[in-house]
Amino acid sequence: MLSSIVGIVLLVLHAAGVIAAMHAVMNTRTPQGAFAWALGLVLLPYITLIPYLYLGRSRFHGYVDLHRLRREQMQAMANTTLETAASPPWACERYGEIASLLHARFHPGQQLRLLVNGDATFNAILSAIGEARHCVLLQFFIIHDDGLGRRLQETLIERVRAGVEVCVLYDGIGSHALPHQYVDTLREAGVAIHPFATQRRSNRFQLNFRNHRKIVVIDGIRGFVGGLNVGDEYLGLKPPLAPWRDTHLQVDGPAVADLQRSFAEDWHWVTGALPPLRSPNPGTGHTHTLIAATGPADRQETCSLFFVALIHAARRRLWITTPYFVPDQAVMSALRLAVFRGVDVRVLIPSRPDHHAVFLASGLYAHDAVIAGIRVFRYQPGFLHEKVVLIDDDTASVGSMNLDNRSFRLNFEIGALNVGRQFATEVEAMLREDFSHAHEVTEAEYLKAPYMRRLAMHVARLFDPVL
């Protein structure tokens, strides 16, 4: 009797595995991912079926349709309310395909402030919120109920009591540990706060399509974007990853309108309404800035193509910092070609893991990169989480994008691509300091590693479509 029940269960699992494998073949974005899922689901459904429920979904419709419609409407609105900018200089025209791909544009006259760590970032953000007079738009992947989270909570409540409209978005999975009481306290005080999800009905089985963006907009005139979330670990207060190394950016000027528009698209999907929208100040600075908002709702794989275009634009120098170095074939090929052009290609990655599978896969990709002539460095003092790209002497990108499949195809991301020698010089000085605290990876790191660790690296890389 027991053996019959077990046989029936196994039969049902295999049947479900075959059905799921058909779904994977039809819907997974990459051939490698489709093959990996299909093989596992057919041969080992009792191991892979549950993970596929969480990680296998790669397409969705409701958000896609509304996202595209709303983006087109807001772009049309922006084109009628913002003054038409003069033709961008040649330095910006090098990135014309990015502007076309993202339906975005370079805004002249930006005033930028490089925020080189967590203290600088949140001192600036909390100060700006405290000075808000009309509205605050705030979006983070992670918000923790800890010291920094409570400082943010108190500041937002104080502004609401002063008559300021406050809208907050947080990712439902990234902020899964956020207590209901934290949210209820804000909501009862008058803060409009909602979790982001691509489906309006809750789905605990879906871990893909996370909103990894970090956006703060104050009164429509000052914006913040970068890699930091809200939590004490981002201030370097939680070992063993402390000190935490991260970077954020303050933007003043017309490009803030595009940060505001990105927030508005996500807010409209979640609430069905638009947040308060205000016009930015005219540009008085010297930098051209393009806001790159990417995600799985786009018609193209915009984040991967964004990196490919940046890499191809480099002629002398390409320095990249990323916590997760799991590039796809297009990005890895672009990096190799940059080396053949004589570009100084350097990649800075962590020496400590926060996600062990990603860390193992990154180690193997680092080995491949070193063989290809790409210089790879490991940051020593603490965990490296910054997402910065420096190109030649005039271009720097700061944002939320990692060099991994999640950012390339599964997450909603945002960054600021900035063209201007003064700002690039500031970024160069910051990165030189970072590289001074790193050691260079050689082939020996992989070759001298124990066999089981090398095997673990190769196994981890098999899962890079979902890392």
CA neighbor of 254 nearest in space, from 277, 294, 220, 218? 220
Catalytic residue among 23, 107, 144, 212: 212
385 is annotated as an active-site residue = yes
Torsion-angle region of residue 253: left (phi > 0), alpha (psi -120 to 50) or beta? Answer: left
CA atoms within 13 A on the CB side of 452: 0
Average pLDDT over residues 127-153: 98
Torsion-angle region of residue 165: left (phi > 0), alpha (psi -120 to 50) or beta? Answer: beta
Structure tokens at 301: 């794989």
pLDDT at 387 over 90: yes
Beta bridge partners of 168: 138, 193
Q: Which domains does the chain have, with CATH numbers?
A: 7-55 (no CATH), 62-95+111-285 (3.30.870.10), 302-466 (3.30.870.10)
pLDDT at 8 over 80: no
pLDDT at 80 over 60: no
Categorize the per-residue pLDDT at 136 as very low, low, confident or very high, splitting at 50, 70 and 90.
very high
214 is annotated as an active-site residue = yes
Catalytic residue among 252, 392, 404, 434: 392
pLDDT at 85 over 60: no
pLDDT in tens, 301-341: 999 999 999 999 999 999 999 999 999 999 999 999 999 99
Reported pTM: 0.87
212 is annotated as an active-site residue = yes
Catalytic residue among 107, 144, 248, 385: 385
CA dihedral 321, 141, 302, 54 (to 10 degrees): 110
Catalytic residue among 67, 144, 171, 219: 219
d(CA 428, CA 433): 9
pLDDT in tens, 178-188: 999 999 999 99
CA distances from 416 to 111, 259, 301 (A): 12, 9, 18
pLDDT recorded at residue 82: 45
pLDDT at 83 over 50: no
Cα three-residue angle 461-207-265, rounded to 5 degrees: 115
Catalytic residue among 107, 214, 268, 288: 214
pLDDT recorded at residue 81: 45
Q: What percentage of the chain exceeds 70 in pLDDT?
A: 82
Categorize the per-residue pLDDT at 135 as very low, low, confident or very high, splitting at 50, 70 and 90.
very high
Q: What is the mean pLDDT of the chain?
A: 88
448 is annotated as an active-site residue = no
d(CA 319, CA 392): 9
Categorize the per-residue pLDDT at 212 as very low, low, confident or very high, splitting at 50, 70 and 90.
very high
Average pLDDT over residues 221-249: 96
pLDDT at 236 over 70: yes
d(CA 302, CA 290): 14
d(CA 138, CA 211): 13
CA neighbor of 196 nearest in space, from 41, 348, 443, 414? 414
CA distances from 95 to 191, 250, 313, 339, 392 (A): 39, 22, 7, 20, 13
CA neighbor of 20 nearest in space, from 32, 46, 38? 38
CA distances from 308 to 154, 231, 330, 360 (A): 42, 32, 7, 24
